[in-house]
A = this chain, B = another copy of it.
Amino acid sequence: MNQKNDVCRHRLMIARDTLEVIQGKWRLPIIISLNHGNKRFGEIQRDITDISPKMLSQELKALETNKIITRTLYDSMPVTVEYSLTPLGESMRKLLDEILNWGIHFRKEILETSIDN
């Protein structure tokens, strides 16, 4: 039974790497938004309606240091900034799909089993 347990503990360690990147209220929403195309600061804000500029700015920086997204400044007037997924960010697509798939499944299950509400 010790070998089985080592496999479990190893997986728990790997999961922590992923969790450190996606943990928090806003990181996955930002990644999902950018998964639908490169976007400017204001466009992301309009997708995620209840995020404040402070949190968006802060989380974009965190995702940039984790090499998930890239910031590109365009010298237009007024200045525009475009955010896009890096290849590493794009490699999360399957993970995002599973989050969405399970979310749909979860909602269906919850609605089916609860006659109340």
Contacts and interface: CB of A to CB of B under 8 A. Distances in A.
A106 B9 CA distance: 18
Contacts of A5: 36, 47
Nearest to A105: B91
Interface string A76-104: 00000000000010011011111111111
- Measured as residues with beta carbon below 8 angstroms from the partner, the interface class of chain A is 35 or more
A52 interface: no
Contacts of A97: 98
Give this chain's copy count: 2
A105 B106 CA distance: 27
B100 A88 contact: no
A19 interface: yes
4 tightest CB-CB pairs across the interface, nearest first? A18-B103, A14-B103, A8-B36, A95-B98
Interface of A: 4-5, 7-9, 11-12, 14-19, 21, 23, 25, 28-29, 32-33, 36-37, 47-48, 67, 88, 91-92, 94-107, 109-110, 113
